[in-house]
Structures are given as C-alpha cells and as structure tokens.
Amino acid sequence: MAAVKDLLTGGLSELGIAADEKIVDALLFYLSELKRWNKAYNLTAITDDKEIVAKHFLDSLLYLKALPETARNLCDVGSGAGFPGLPMALVRLDLPVTLIEPSRKRCAFLRNLSKRLALQNVDVIEAAAEEVGELRFDAVLTRATFSVAELIRKAGHLLAARGVFILSKGEKAKEELLQVPDGFQVKTLSLMLPGTDIVRTLIIVTRN
C-alpha cells in the first residue's frame, strides 16, 4: 500500500493539488470501497490498485485543468463509479458536484461513499441525462461514456448559458472533433496522465 500511496501523493503534486493527508486518506478509502463493492456490483474492470489510482483517480483530477475558474457547479453525466466527479468533489469541497447515473446499483455505491466521506457538496441523481429537467450547470463532464456529439444531444439542456462541456479522450480525439455540431466551438488540452506514459486529451466545448 505504501507504493500506492506514493503514486497517489506524487500524482496529486504533479497536478498541482496539495497532497493533504485528509484528501489522500479519503482517496485510499475510496479505493478500498470501490474494490469491495466491485465484487458484487461490477463497478470497474480495473482491479489493480496502482491502475485504479492512475486511470481512475488521477485521470479524473485532470479535468480540474480544464474547469473554468468561474464554474459555480458541475455535473458528471454517466458517472458510473464516480469518475470524474467524485474525486473532483473530494479536492474541491467548495464546488457543488452532481453525479447523474441511471444504474440503481451504482447510485447506491455513490450515495454510500459520499455519506461515508461526509461530502456535503455531492448530490446523486438516479436517471439518464435526458430525464433530468430543471437543473443547469456551469460544467457538464463525462469520460469515455459518450462521444462529443452524443453528450451535446443528451445533456445539452443541462448546460448553463456560458457553460462548458468537458470530455476526456484518448487517441480518437481528432475523430470526435469532426462530430461537433454547428453552434459550438472546441478547444483541446493534451496532458500527461501522472504515473503513466499515457496522454489524455481533454475536449472543451462551448456554445458560440
């Protein structure tokens, strides 16, 4: 576990996040709960501790690099086991984070974990994005769950007037950019994933 903790603290430092003991302990608890619940709920195909830290936790925290300073809230669409929204909520306790997930089992995990971690800034909604009506967010996030075009189609109504969509993509990022519909502009941000040789491309989409 010492090597896992070192990877986590080193990764946080690389991302410019203070490796506060409370944050590190919370993420390590998240790791243990994810593995425990995964046996029954099939939350992730990644089961190696170091891979979970790098490809789930640190990968999620990369999104903070693209999050506008003016963002007052965010939602994570198709949150699954909480990525990227829950790790972001852990390090940004000032930021309200809504996790939207249609699976009842995954929502049970997210609610339990949020309660165990005493995260007052997290709300879990059991629904598909299309079913969520009145809420508006300054940032709408997803990982590989949707393509850019799908996210705009399914969750465009959730985006505040000056809000941003943020997606994380790998090698197929350029193909995704061709799918962006008229009325939107796109920027990309390529970043090394700490603890790996993987380059992640964050796609940032705003309305014209």
Contacts of 68 (CB under 8 A, 6+ apart): 138, 139, 164
pLDDT of 175 higher than 80 = no
Q: How many CB atoms lie within 10 A of CB 191?
A: 17
pLDDT of 129 higher than 90 = yes
Residue 98 to residue 108: CA distance in whole angstroms:
14
**pLDDT reported for residue 41:** 94
* CA nearest neighbour of 17 among 64, 70, 56: 64
How many Cα atoms are found within 13 Å in the side-chain-facing hemisphere of 179? 14
CATH architecture of 63-207: 3-Layer(aba) Sandwich (3.40)
Residue 47 to residue 43: CA distance in whole angstroms:
10
The two three-digit tokens of residue 27, written as one number: 């993420």
Q: What percent of the chain has pLDDT over 90?
A: 82
Residue 14 to residue 37: CA distance in whole angstroms:
29
**pLDDT reported for residue 174:** 73
pLDDT of 172 higher than 70 = no
Say if residues 103 and 130 touch (Cβ distance below 8 Å).
no
Residue 101 to residue 181: CA distance in whole angstroms:
25
Q: How many CB atoms lie within 10 A of CB 66?
A: 19
Q: Which residues pair with 141 in a beta bridge?
A: 76, 166
